[in-house]
Structure 1
Amino acid sequence: MTPDLDYKNNPLHGVSLKQLLTEIVNHYGYEILYAYLNINCFKVNPSIDASVKFLKKTDWAREKVEAFYLYQFKSLPRASDEQFELPPRDRIVPPDQKPGLPAELSLEDAERLREKRARKAAEHDRQGGPRRGPSKEAPRRASAPPPDNVDPWAKWRK
């Protein structure tokens, strides 16, 4: 890392997950967070403590919330492709980019965004493109059941 480029310009620097979550919940509320992020901890009995506990254990969800904080709540421009590949806390924000006012978000906008994402996913599926990330379903393996006369523990016995 070069001395003039460091993490101190990243609005997440020095901000705890609880503090970050408190800021965005106080500004947007749980309903907007669930509508935009689709994370159940914001829908089912939401609370700061329960959400923090879940987010600390779940990297993908924490990174989603931190990215929301950077690009919606702090209104930073989208990161470069190289920086976007990094977790939000590891991104280097150029010194000329300063946080702005929180974006104005609505449930109607969230619904339009969800529909747009669904259309893009359906289009992607129709084209047969490769999926990013691991599949949610376990791979299906066609395997014949072992014959009745085979001892399944034989290879571990001496």
Structure 2
Amino acid sequence: MDSQQSHPHDPLHGITLEMIVTTLVARYGWPELGRRVPIRCFRHHPTIKSSLIFLRKTPWARTRVEQLFVRDLP
């Protein structure tokens, strides 16, 4: 069974947080991502690693990033 069929209502199934952040940075760049989700790790000396550490420890911020990613899915 295809992973999309086994979890049809979860658009994030099988997508890691690193994939989400990397995709958003490629799409928007750090400055625009920091404007859309105003968290310090996106605005001041941003890196993928520091962002992942923060987002894994901060559920509300992770939720906002995931919502932005899902909104922009084709």
Q: What TM-score do you get using the length of structure 2 for normalisation? A: 0.85
- The one-letter code matched in structure 2 to 1:30 is W
Q: Where does 1:61-140 land on structure 2 (aligned, <5 Å)? A: 61-71=61-71, 73-74=72-73, 100=74
Deviation at 1:27, TM superposition (A): 1.1
Q: Please say if 1:30 is aligned against 2:50.
A: no
Aligned-residue offset at 1:6: 6.0
CA distances 1:114-143 after superposition (whole Å, capped 9, x unpaired): xxxxxxxxxxxxxxxxxxxxxxxxxxxxxx
Give the structure with the higher percent helix: 2
Matched, 1:15 2:15: yes
User: What root-mean-square deviation, in Å, do the aligned CA atoms of Structure 1 and Structure 2 show?
Assistant: 1.7
Please state how far the C-alpha of 1:9 moved relative to its aligned partner: 4.6
Q: Which moved more, 1:52-61 or 1:35-44?
A: 35-44
Gaps of 5+ in 2: none
> 1:31 offset after TM fit, Å?
0.8
TM-score by length of 1: 0.41
2:42 matched residue in structure 1: 42
CA–CA separation in structure 2 for the residues paired with 1:50 and 1:36: 18
Residue 139 of structure 1 aligns with which residue?
none
Higher relative contact order (CA 8 A, sep 6+): 2
Query: Separation in 1 of the partners of 2:62 and 2:29?
Result: 17
Larger Rg: 1
Q: Distance in 1 between matches of 2:41 and 2:7?
A: 29
Q: Percent of counterpart pairs with the same letter?
A: 36
Residue type at the aligned position of 2:15: V
Equivalent residues, number: 70
